[in-house]
Amino acid sequence: MTTGSLELKVTDPQKQISNPAEVGSRYTDAQKAKIEDAAKQFESLLTSMMLKSMTQSSSGLSGENNFGGGFFDTIFQNELAMYISKNRSLGVASILYKKLTGQDMDSKINGSQLTPLNNEVNPGFKLNINMPPIAPSSQSLDRLNKYEGIINSASEQFGVNKNLIKSVILTESAANEKAQSTAKAKGLMQLIDSTAAQMGVSNVWDPQQNILGGTKYLAQLLQKFNGNVDLALASYNAGPENVEKYGGVPPFEETQNYVKRVLGYLNHLNGVTNGTEQSI
């Protein structure tokens, strides 16, 4: 079910921002960096919406009745939009930036789009905000709500954004405390026995111990990778040794989809709206 629908027909995207106010250059370097990031995000968002509008008439990139097609269409559209914005820019971001600051955009800033997470607990965590929001099922959200108090406590204790904890739980177990994988990962945050022992978890099936142990491990990974959420999530899924081996998110389809799904849930919980939200 698509929770957000937006028809976009644009022949000249620059017309959408043809008359922004002239404010001149009155911003600090830090403010300019934020403006540049926001301008690039807007261009990527606009590109993504254009791609979605163009593919709707053909039942999406995956065709009709394709299991998971909506989710993977969203991922592909998002990746393509980021590639286009980074490598063959529409020029929208540059125009916005110059209109707001009176200066040309600094070409030295790359297109990784990693920005602070707006977390009062740890504002240094970084998030790839380009991932379109993904709405969890209502059933999984109902289950997740039971653990709100534990999640808040874990967030405060270990300095991890509570919505990130929730997004990992939703991805790992759909908030099912009895979940167990074929690899013997168990509980809400799918801890394997060795990790649970290292985190001081004596009963992996106890929701409080599982969430505290999983959050502690996630906090360690975030610290290890300097607050980079992408790398921490990849490590949570594939192990930090693989992230170090490949110098980034490993080229494993499962891990790459895992990171994107967690970020999609996170953007949904953070209230990010970009017209491409999917319910899966």
Output the CA–CA distances (angstroms, integers) from residue 128 to 112, 115, 163, 242, 266, in the order listed: 8, 7, 14, 20, 10
The catalytic residue positions are 172
Alpha-carbon distance 40 to 96, whole Å? 9
Residues 227-260 as b/e (b if ≥16 CB within 10 A, e otherwise) read bbbbbbbbbbbbebebbeeeeebbeeeebbbbbb
What are the tokens at 139?
Answer: 């059933």
How many CB atoms within 10 Å of residue 147?
21
User: 């929208």: which residue's tokens?
Assistant: 92
